[in-house]
Amino acid sequence: MNTIDRIRHIQALSWEDWREDGATPSDFAPASADMCWIIGSTGYLMARAVNRTTVELHAAALPHTPGFVESTKMVMEFLRHQGCQRFVAIIPGYCRAAQLAAYRAGFRRCGVIHQAVRRDGVLHDLIVREA
């Protein structure tokens, strides 16, 4: 199974935790310029450059994915050695496990995009975190 297929498989496994009305896991496939890391068999991390200084991190993992927070920290350190200085994660407010994982990886809450994602017909906030 190639990397894209593995990412889609992980997205499908974790879809219930972060799904959005009208979207499917395949809507979130990485772009060709994104860097991706597979973490165990149930997690992945994707880095998308915003500019030369800032990287947006996207992730999907099941709660039991071993070493997910530690792997995230290692990826961030690797990217710092490549010149990245800021990291951004935008996480649906209803994804409490993802909020906690981001906090444990060193992200702090820096903003809210109000009513920006629809789930089960209800609008929810997106929480912006930075590290």
pLDDT in tens, 30-83: 677 788 888 887 788 889 999 999 999 988 887 778 888 999 999 999 999 999
For residue 17, name the pLDDT band (cuts at 50, 70, 90). Answer: low
What total of structural domains would you count in the chain?
1
Please count the other Cβ atoms lying within 10 Å of the Cβ belonging to residue 88: 17
pLDDT of residue 33: 76
Which amino acid, residue 12?
Answer: A
| Burial grade of 77 (CB within 10 A; 0-12, 13-18, 19 or more) | exposed
34 touches 73 (CB < 8 A): no
| Per-residue model confidence as pLDDT tens digits over 95-128 | 888 899 999 999 999 999 999 999 899 999 999 9
Q: pLDDT tier at 2 (50, 70, 90 boundaries)?
A: low
pTM of this prediction exceeds 0.85: no
pLDDT of residue 48: 92
DSSP state of 66: T
Structural domain range at position 9:
3-130
**CA dist., res. 43 & res. 58, Å (int):** 11
Question: What length is written for the chain?
Answer: 131
Unique residue bearing structure tokens 């499917």? 24
Q: Return the CATH number at 97.
A: 3.40.630.30
